[in-house]
Amino acid sequence: MTESPSRPVRVWNYRYALLCSLLSLALVAVALVGMLDPANRGTTDSPLWAVALLGWFAFLGIRPWFLGLYVHDTFVVRRGWLKSERYELAEIKKAGSTNYSGYWNRFGSSTTFAMVELRFEDEEVAIPELVGRNRTAQELADRVTGLLERRR
């Protein structure tokens, strides 16, 4: 009898997902108010741009709930905003935290916020989807490291 693979464990920051969703909800509300404004009735503008905008805002509100790292038995999947990446578990040495550098601060280096990074033999891969205050990012990194050690 072969051993069945265990379920993947998800590591994510629900506060980040909630913040992104609330911001998206605000954008949807503003867009809807603009679209439904009585002053705009009878204009010749095509509603396709508005529908596309609402779709994008909906994506921004829903996608954060699926972001994060999924630790499987032999590999780790990083679910990002637009793409997913897979890393072999044996190649990851450990997880740590580093200063946040991403969209929210125009890719500068933040000392207030940090993100998790996966450390390999010869490189570090930043995981900006696992962002938070320095303590939160370190807790997430410790959780990832613990999961990596248990799965080996």
Residue 88 and residue 58 share a domain: no
Q: What is the pLDDT of residue 44?
A: 61
Contact 14, 129 (CB under 8 A): no
2 lies in a domain?
A: no
| pLDDT in 10s for each residue of the chain, 152 residues | 445 568 999 999 999 999 999 999 999 998 888 777 777 676 666 678 878 888 999 999 999 999 999 999 999 999 999 999 999 999 999 999 999 998 878 888 888 999 999 999 999 999 999 999 999 999 999 999 999 999 87
Residue 51 and residue 80 share a domain: no
Residue 139 and residue 72 share a domain: yes
Residue 144 and residue 80 share a domain: yes
Residue 73 and residue 54 share a domain: no
Residue 98 and residue 59 share a domain: no
Residue 88 and residue 54 share a domain: no
Show the tokens assigned to 119. Answer: 């450390």
Q: What is the pLDDT of residue 48?
A: 81
Domain count, the chain: 2
74 lies in a domain?
A: yes
Q: What is the pLDDT of residue 43?
A: 67
Q: What is the pLDDT of residue 136?
A: 96
What global pTM score does this model have? 0.83
* Rounded CA separation 81/66 (Å): 9
Tell me the torsion sign for CA atoms 55, 70, 125, 136.
Answer: positive
4 lies in a domain?
A: no
Domain containing 118 equals 67-151
